[in-house]
């Protein structure tokens, strides 16, 4: 899945390891960005026994890579923890386990599960302290299992917990299982289960009983039984529990039974005077010891046999689950759920139960599944039908939000050019053309212009946008729009929309404020301005400033929903018929009329900044001397 290179970093000067992901592991842009997000999560881990990530980047071929310290002292699998007599150095093993438990406790506390704890991922630097490395397949909790394209769960099966091998969701208890395997390996010099291939190894972890340690390591058996339990609920719940039992093992290991009995007998014999008493004491000790030892062995053998029988009766056969295709089990649940949500028209709401969220979550783990790709197109079509219905009925705000969501779905799944997306864009174009035609029938040039302005933000091609704008510009203006002709003198508000009124709209809709500065302005970075802070003090009743034309139109649609009346921006001709009443600074007001293309709109009136009666401004941003008022249509 990756290749690791030894390199020298120029600044600062140091040796580093560069891990470059293979193109087969991350075959598309979506998976590469997801991997990079995971690496950023891991890079935030700062612990003395976790290998740091220095840098994340892309190669010239677009493959993600990251750099980390070069640790020249090798990994734990290259070290022996056994003395010459074959017995383990228990103090050294316990010290190593405590360091690794500390690192896992830190990672788990920040929502990160390692998922590949093994001897090769425990490295040593110049300080000879163990460091946990290669969180390269780690995932934040809640992101589901990861499966390779060939259907194998990610991780090393020799250390892998049974639920991880089955492709199920895992938590920190899977890491503790792997740490138990590592502890067994350090104490005995071999793995608890050994097999010829990955599948056979995974089956042994799920099915075979936990092996028995040799007699001299009997005080570790309870610890191993908990660490290597088949079911997560029977294991240590967290690192604290595992660490506490490690303390008990350490205490028991200091005074093993055989040594303690031998010392007690020796101490007693030293106090007996004379050879006779010494011989008598030896004989008595032997007579008493033989039945006790025999009884102890017999009892333990009976207990083991009873436990074996219980295990045989209660253990479920894991083979069928192990042989099922790993990607399909969790994915099929998501597919069925999303299909049901689409059928019930729960496309984007409610927040905790909608098809959009279900599909996006499933895509994060299974981006290449054909059934999921098909479901993405199904959801795109369903959302598109709803958006086109809203657009046809002039519910432009709702349609715009839905189309933004559809484009996000296409971007995240690399399906922007799918047949479903192309059908949607064709439908948007057809619907806008029909609405412009109806505006032309009633000689409503302002409405036609406003309709054509929707084309670009809804993702239509530039050539299509220009064609619709040209058609809108050709709508005759010989007569007033119907809304203006039928409106009385009171239909056009004399006062601009106030800061208090706009604040209620912004709070209700959670609309993000537009910026006032030009993109090239340094002040835009150092002192950003928006309607809440235009650069000077304003009262709540004063006109709201720093709003774009789109902000003004969104406010008009929101006000229509609140009152049941239809509102829009006035044209220049309509505004000149009724002078505005402006309190505070002199300001200009947004108009519906287009300038050079509908990306620019007219503003009317001299302002404290510009002594011009009429200007044409970029409609995509706000200005600290431009507000707006509305015309209520009958």
Catalytic residues: 116
Question: CA-CA distance, 176 to 170, in Å (whole number)?
Answer: 11
Residues 105 and 116 sit within 8 Å (Cβ to Cβ): no
- Of 453, 447, 617, whose CA–CA distance to 546 is shortest? 617
- Of 597, 453, 602, 627, whose CA–CA distance to 531 is shortest? 627
Neighbours of 37 (CB within 10 A): 13
Q: How far apart are the first and last CA of the chain?
A: 66
Residues 362 and 372 sit within 8 Å (Cβ to Cβ): yes
Centroid of chain to Cα 358: 13
Residue 240, token pair as written in the block = 């604290």
- Of 488, 504, 518, whose CA–CA distance to 622 is shortest? 518
Torsion of CA 313, 314, 318, 319, to 10 degrees: 10
Residue 492 phi/psi, 5-degree rounding, is -95, 120
Torsion of CA 543, 544, 549, 554, to 10 degrees: -110
Question: CA-CA distance, 108 to 114, in Å (whole number)?
Answer: 8
Angle at 163 between CA 158 and CA 166, to 5 degrees: 85
Residues 158 and 93 sit within 8 Å (Cβ to Cβ): no
Question: CA-CA distance, 132 to 97, in Å (whole number)?
Answer: 11
Question: CA-CA distance, 467 to 476, in Å (whole number)?
Answer: 17
Q: What is the DSSP string of 195-211?
A: -SSHHHHHHHHHHSPPP
- Of 484, 497, 581, whose CA–CA distance to 541 is shortest? 497
> Which residue stretches of 60-215 are H helix?
90-109, 162-165, 172-188, 198-207
Question: CA-CA distance, 76 to 178, in Å (whole number)?
Answer: 14
Centroid of chain to Cα 469: 41
Distances (CA, A) of 74 to 6, 49, 174: 14, 15, 25
Question: CA-CA distance, 467 to 433, in Å (whole number)?
Answer: 10
- Identify the sign of the CA torsion 433, 439, 443, 444: negative
Starting at the earlier edge strand, list the strands of the sheet with 588-595: 614-618, 597-604, 588-595, 626-627
């Amino acid at each position: 899945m990756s290749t690791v290179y030894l390199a020298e970093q120029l600044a600062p000067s140091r040796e580093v390891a560069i891990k470059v992901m293979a193109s087969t592991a991350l075959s598309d842009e979506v998976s590469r960005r997801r991997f990079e997000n995971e690496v950023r999560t891991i890079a935030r881990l700062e612990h003395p026994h976790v290998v740091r990530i220095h840098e994340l980047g892309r190669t010239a071929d677009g493959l993600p890579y990251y750099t980390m310290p070069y640790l020249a002292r090798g990994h734990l699998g290259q070290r022996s923890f056994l003395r010459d007599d074959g017995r383990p150095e228990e103090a050294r093993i316990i010290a190593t386990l405590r360091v690794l438990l500390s690192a896992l406790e830190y990672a788990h506390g920040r929502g990160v599960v390692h998922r590949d704890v093994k001897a090769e991922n425990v490295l040593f630097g110049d300080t000879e302290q163990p460091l946990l490395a290669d969180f390269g397949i780690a995932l934040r909790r809640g992101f589901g299992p990861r499966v390779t394209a060939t259907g194998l769960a990610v991780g090393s099966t020799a250390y892998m917990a049974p639920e991880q091998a089955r492709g199920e969701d895992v938590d920190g208890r899977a890491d503790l299982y792997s740490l138990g395997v590592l502890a067994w390996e350090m104490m005995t010099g071999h793995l608890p289960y050994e097999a010829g291939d990955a599948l056979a190894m995974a089956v042994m972890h799920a099915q075979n009983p936990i092996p028995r340690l040799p007699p001299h390591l009997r005080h570790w058996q309870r610890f191993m039984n908990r660490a290597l339990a088949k079911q997560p609920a029977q294991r240590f719940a967290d690192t604290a529990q595992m660490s506490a039992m490690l303390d008990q093992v350490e205490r028991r290991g200091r005074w093993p039974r055989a040594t303690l009995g031998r010392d007690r007998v020796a101490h007693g014999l030293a106090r007996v005077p004379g050879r006779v008493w010494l011989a008598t004491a030896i004989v008595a000790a032997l007579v008493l010891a033989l039945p006790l030892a025999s009884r102890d062995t017999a009892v333990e053998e009976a207990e083991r046999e009873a436990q074996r029988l219980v295990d045989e009766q209660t253990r479920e056969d894991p083979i069928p689950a192990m042989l099922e295709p790993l990607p399909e089990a969790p994915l099929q649940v998501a597919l069925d759920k999303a299909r049901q949500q689409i059928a019930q028209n729960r496309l984007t709401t409610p927040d905790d139960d909608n098809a959009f969220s279900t599909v996006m979550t499933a895509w994060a783990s299974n981006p290449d599944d054909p059934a999921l790709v098909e479901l993405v197109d199904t959801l795109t079509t369903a959302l598109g039908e709803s958006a086109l219905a809203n657009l046809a009925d002039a519910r432009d705000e709702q349609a715009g939000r839905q189309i933004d969501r559809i484009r996000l779905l296409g971007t995240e799944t690399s399906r922007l050019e799918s047949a479903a997306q192309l059908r949607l864009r064709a439908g948007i174009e057809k619907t806008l053309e029909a609405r412009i035609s109806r505006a032309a029938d009633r000689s409503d040039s302002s409405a036609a212009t406003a309709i054509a302005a929707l084309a670009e933000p809804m993702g239509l091609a530039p050539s299509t946008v220009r064609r619709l704008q040209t058609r809108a510009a050709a709508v005759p203006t010989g007569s007033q729009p119907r809304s203006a002709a039928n409106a009385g003198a009171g239909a056009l508000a004399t006062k601009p929309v106030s800061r208090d009124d706009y604040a209620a709209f912004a709070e209700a809709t959670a609309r993000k404020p537009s910026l006032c500065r030009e993109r090239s302005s340094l002040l835009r970075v150092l002192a950003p301005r928006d309607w809440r802070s235009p650069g000077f003090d304003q009262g709540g009743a004063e006109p709201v400033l720093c709003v774009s034309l789109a902000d003004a139109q969104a406010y008009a649609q929101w006000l229509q929903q609140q009152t049941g009346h239809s509102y829009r921006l006035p044209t220049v001709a309509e505004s000149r018929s009724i002078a505005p009443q402006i309190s505070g600074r002199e300001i200009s007001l947004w108009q519906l009329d287009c300038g050079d293309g509908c990306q620019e709109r007219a503003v009317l009136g001299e302002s404290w900044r510009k002594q011009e009666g009429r200007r044409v401004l970029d409609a995509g941003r706000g200005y600290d001397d431009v507000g707006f008022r509305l015309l209520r249509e009958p």
